[in-house]
Amino acid sequence: MGDTGIRRSIVSALSSRYPGLYNNDNIALVSTHSHSGVGGYVENLLPQLTSLGYVKQTADAIVTGTVLAVQRAHDSLAPGSLTVGNTTVLNGNINRSPSAYLANPASERARYQYDQDKDMSLLRFNDANGRARGFISFFPVHGTSLYIVRVLPLRLGVSALTNGYPLE
């Protein structure tokens, strides 16, 4: 989940590190939320209420990690190419509110095969030899379904942010 304060801090740090290269006009900060990540970094009041206020340590960690990732990517720039792939993924997501979807006009619903977007796109970054260097995928999933897993003696809430635990 993005925030203008986080964005401002990232742009400022990158502009200072790479004068004349990175700025407000060429940095896109894209993020999501999971309902199970840390809070306290959004500058607006309402989200701060749930995390008991602004947490500078959280905001600093997000900014520092993002700037470090960009720095590492920038420092390893090399010739290469991009490819894009698209596919349909069935049984990978659900409509969280079918009743709300059905409130859309029939003409609107008739434009789509499913009540949820099932298209996945993948952007692949290749080196000069065609080997994959990285991927960015785009798939419409709202990562808010928390599951409980027994890892004795604890019961843990497992989300997209919790890797390595099997679901019961």
pLDDT at 123: 95
pLDDT digits (tens, 9 = 90+) for 77-102: 999 999 999 999 988 777 878 899 99
pLDDT at 3: 74
The number of domains in the chain is 1
In a domain, 48, yes or no: yes
Asked if 11 contacts 23 with a C-beta cutoff of 8 angstroms, the reply is: yes
In a domain, 65, yes or no: yes
The percent helix, strand, coil of the chain (3-state, each to 5) is 30, 20, 50
Global pTM value: 0.69
Q: List the chain residues with pLDDT less than 70.
A: 1-2, 32-37, 142-168
Strands 119-127 and 80-88: antiparallel
- Look at residues 54, 28, 57, 29 and name the one whose alpha carbon lies nearest to residue 40: 54
SS3 at position 153: coil
Own/partner long-range contacts of 16-24 (Cβ < 8 Å, ≥24 apart): 17/67, 17/71, 18/74, 22/70
In a domain, 106, yes or no: no
pLDDT at 166: 44
In a domain, 60, yes or no: yes
Instruction: Convert 17-50 to b/e letters by CB count within 10 Å (16 or more is b).
Output: eeeeebeeeeeeeeeeeeeeeebbbbeeeebbee
In a domain, 112, yes or no: no
In a domain, 97, yes or no: no
Q: Rounded to an integer, what distance in angstroms lies between the CA atom of residue 96 and that of residue 48? A: 25
pLDDT at 163: 46
Q: Rounded to an integer, what distance in angstroms lies between the CA atom of residue 22 and that of residue 46? A: 31
Q: Any bridge partners for residue 158, and if so which?
A: 147
Q: Rounded to an integer, what distance in angstroms lies between the CA atom of residue 10 and that of residue 102? A: 41
Owning domain of residue 71: 1-77
- Look at residues 124, 26, 127 and name the one whose alpha carbon lies nearest to residue 77: 127
In a domain, 11, yes or no: yes
In a domain, 87, yes or no: no
